Amino acid sequence: MGRVSESTDLAGWKHVYSGKVRDLYERADGSASDTLLVVASDRVSAFDHVLSPGIPGKGELLTTLSLWWFDQLDVPNHLVADHELTASGELTEVIPPRFAGRAMLVKKLEMFPVECVVRGYLTGSGWKEYLASQSVCGIPLPEGLSNGDRLPEPLYTPAYKAPMGEHDENISFEQSIELVGEADATALRDLSLAIYAEASALAEKRGVILADTKFEFGRDAATGLITLADEVLTSDSSRYWDATAYATAETAEGRMASFDKQIVRDWLAANWDQTGTPPELPNSIVEKTAERYRELLTRLTA
């Protein structure tokens, strides 16, 4: 699995890690050791591979959407002020100009090794499992559901966050208790379901369906609070559909008209057998994905 960085050390900041999409920096002089700079790149990933080319403007679009959602949600989050006073009393921007618009200054947290997935609709890997066993992540479901159907109630289906280079693994709620303890596992579940309910209701008012999403949480060492971290409710971490298309389309594919990187996943699934190096994305897919990312941001935040 590729780990690619478009970034190197720069004045005042030390590059410490690159994931598939984001790069992390800390202060080079060791000051503010409890904070990180999280930079969203234009890289795009699918099936655990970083693809080429990236999606122009994606990093800024996703950062803008994350910041907007953090502002909407009444839960503790990891953001810290990205301006500070100089010795002379002047207000100065902390985020380097090079990363303006696509970076967040955040508090370091003790991250839970659980990815908190909430599914409101039957789709993706959940649909495949339902066809095989009439269940999703081991949770039984009623007969007769179709691809894209709304579930009787949102499902919390956690995953174990595997070490770098390995695949995350779907786990049961009981297994999440073994990982983090009953109190924290219950809090993660309840927080995830509550955030999903709030966000999906807000999205529906704007003509958008939040089909599923994933959250990451950590504990703030200073306060002890479980805190929402990473990106939140973006086109990379969520499935968003057009509500009008969902209500009127005659096919499953039509009603799941996507505002997320499902466009990339679908093209890749049809043009790659998931062995070797993924093929380069055609310009039409890159442009369509960027357009849908922009449209989602406009719909939600306008």
Per-residue model confidence as pLDDT tens digits over 5-59: 345 567 789 999 998 899 999 998 887 789 999 999 999 999 889 999 999 999 9
Work out the average pLDDT over 280-284.
97
Q: Give the pTM.
A: 0.91
The whole-number pLDDT of residue 283 equals 97
Cis omega before residue 76 (within 30°)? no
Residue 107: pLDDT over 50: yes
The whole-number pLDDT of residue 248 equals 95
**What amino acid is encoded at 135 in this protein?**
S
Rounded distance between C-alpha atoms, residue 171 and residue 257, angstroms:
29
Give the pair of three-digit tokens for residue 6: 């478009």
Beta strands (DSSP E) in 94-222 are: 103-107, 110-111, 114-121, 135-136, 139-140, 150-156, 159-160, 169-170, 208-219
The whole-number pLDDT of residue 32 equals 76
The whole-number pLDDT of residue 4 equals 37
Mean pLDDT score across all residues of the chain: 92
Contact 116, 158 (CB under 8 A): yes
Residue 160: pLDDT over 50: yes
The whole-number pLDDT of residue 88 equals 72
